[in-house]
Amino acid sequence: MSKQKKVLVTGASGFLGSHVCEAAHDAGYEVHALIR
């Protein structure tokens, strides 16, 4: 049983947050993003 890696990114709609989301997704993480 393998566990999916998960990450929560706050500020995902900003410049850095959007790039962090993209990089985490490309690295195989399940990305959860907080935006406002």
Burial class (CB in 10 A: 0-12, 13-18, 19+), 16: exposed
**Structural domain tally of the chain?**
1
Q: What is the pLDDT of residues 4-31, one digit of tens each?
A: 899 999 999 999 999 999 999 999 999 9
Distance between CA 36 and CA 4 in Å, rounded? 26
- Host domain of residue 26: 1-36
Distance between CA 11 and CA 32 in Å, rounded? 11
What is the reported pLDDT for 1? Answer: 60
Non-local CB neighbours of 5 within 8 Å, separated by 6+ positions: 28, 29, 30
